[in-house]
Amino acid sequence: MGDSGSYRWIVLGVSTAVNALGWAARSTFALFYVAILQEFAWGRGATALGYSLSWLCFVVFAPLAGWLHDRWGAPTVVTTGGVALGVALALTGQVTSLTQYYLCFGILSAAGIACIVIPATTIVTGWFVRARGTAMGILSTANSASAVAFYPVNAWLIVTLGWRRALVAFGCIVAAATVSLARLYRDPPTDQERPAADVEARHPQCIGEEWTLRRALRSSRLWAAFIMTALGVVAYQIMATHQVAHAVDRGFQQATVVWLFAFGAACTMAGNLLGGWLSDHFGRGWIFALGSIVAVIGIVCLGLTRGPHDLPLLLIYTASGLGFGMRIAQLSAIPADVFSGAHLGAILGVVQAGGGLGGAIGPFLGGWLFDITGSYWLAFMAACVAVVGSAVAAWFAARPMKPGARKMT
């Protein structure tokens, strides 16, 4: 048992690393976006659609990746995802038309990312029971860490090799690293192999009749978790996509904006870790609600920022990344508590498909509301509504279940 207890941290480290590799394709997209715009006259909207398409296709591929994980296991599916994403990036470096670009970056990369992220998350929930929130908090730092690690790498590759060969090199890095790391996975222990304290600590929803995908799809809790994830990502993407443009529009210097939002990313990572740990001790719903309050306060402060003289308001907003991070840590922990079992991969894939839907809607919604109103105020208020809505859904999904009430949920 000692070996299994320590090996779970290796599994968590591997999953955090491969998730960072998977998310890096999106977190550094802006670098390649600028380079592609300079070479082709496709227009900003048409070019950005490739990014939105990668989120939208995630809605389809996430449940499929979870289903494959339940049948083939994390090592096989994560390896397949790493190769698929590497090939997608390399082929994107060869495109000469929008159709090719949409197929390679929009569709194939979404399949690769899903086959990395969903199994890597699912296997961690199987290894961690009592410290599941803490583990999910660590795992959720992968998104921010991917930008920290790969922004300078890809910027250097583009300057040195040009964007086309840079994408090929980046694809090779992603594929080679993911395939190598996936070999370190081991299946999580069964209940018979776990310490008695871990079995006793399993969430009440996990005890009794086993959840299948079909049964879960009839559960209101599954759709509450789906809505929680979709609305949460809508809010996050509205802010992440448009925060820099708003700050620049209000007269802040580029250098100031860069260090402020770097500080915001650090706060988000701190929130990932803090929120995960707190949720293990005080409950997922309470911590999601607390993070939501902090996030809404920050968004309102950004909306009220009128110029450089409002620097304190902008600082409060960037610090509110702590609240966003506290929420992100719960998006996988809550459904894992409820639906833990042999079919969790497929169920978690459905829940995370909500994130793909939110990722496709959020950036567009923020831009569209700006276009029709001439400011970001309405867009930021829409983000606040989405934050509150996701918190309500999270509370419903994470609420304690009365004994014998399972079949009615």
DSSP letter at 171?
A: H
3-state secondary structure 29-98: HHHHHHHHHHHCCCCHHHHHHHHHHHHHHHHHHHHHHHHHHHHHCHHHHHHHHHHHHHHHHHHHCCCCCH
| Least confidently predicted of 73-87, 162-176, 230-244, 313-327 | 230-244
What gap in Å lies between CA 148 and CA 400, rounded to an integer?
38
For residue 32, give the amino acid letter. Answer: F
**Residue (of 264, 12, 28, 222) closest to 137 by Cα position:** 12
Residue of 211 and 228 predicted with greater confidence: 228
pLDDT at position 407: 46
User: Radius of gyration of the chain from Cα atoms?
Assistant: 21
Q: What is the pLDDT of residues 320-365, one digit of tens each?
A: 999 999 998 888 889 988 887 888 888 989 998 999 999 889 888 8
Residue whose structure tokens are 């996430």 = 62
Greatest mean pLDDT among 14-18, 42-46, 364-368, 373-377 lies in: 14-18
- SS3 state of residue 194: coil
Neighbours of 37 (CB within 10 A): 14
pLDDT at position 409: 46
Distances (CA, A) of 382 to 53, 212, 366: 22, 35, 8
Quick one: tokens of 113?
Answer: 């990312």
Greatest mean pLDDT among 233-242, 273-282, 386-395 lies in: 386-395
What gap in Å lies between CA 131 and CA 249, rounded to an integer?
43
pLDDT at position 193: 55
Residue 124 has pLDDT above 60, yes or no: yes
Domains identified in the chain and CATH numbers? 2-200 (1.20.1250.20), 203-400 (1.20.1250.20)
pLDDT at position 209: 58
What gap in Å lies between CA 167 and CA 173, rounded to an integer?
10
Neighbours of 146 (CB within 10 A): 21
Q: State the angle between helix axes of 344-373 and 220-249 in degrees (0 to 180), rounded to the nearest 10.
A: 40
**Angle, vertex CA 80, rays to CA 360 and CA 32, nearest 5:** 45
CB 300, CB 323: distance < 8 Å:
no
Banded model confidence at residue 168, pLDDT cuts 50, 70, 90: very high
pLDDT at position 195: 54
pTM of the model: 0.81
Banded model confidence at residue 205, pLDDT cuts 50, 70, 90: very low
pLDDT at position 204: 47
Q: Exposure string (b/e) for 225-259, b if CB count within 10 Å is 16 or more?
A: bbbbbbbbbbbbbbbbbbbbebbeebebeeeebee
Phi, psi of 342 (to 5 degrees): -70, -20
What gap in Å lies between CA 109 and CA 3, rounded to an integer?
36
Residue 236 has pLDDT above 70, yes or no: yes
How would you class 99 by CB atoms within 10 Å of its CB: exposed for 0-12, middle for 13-18, buried for 19 or more? exposed
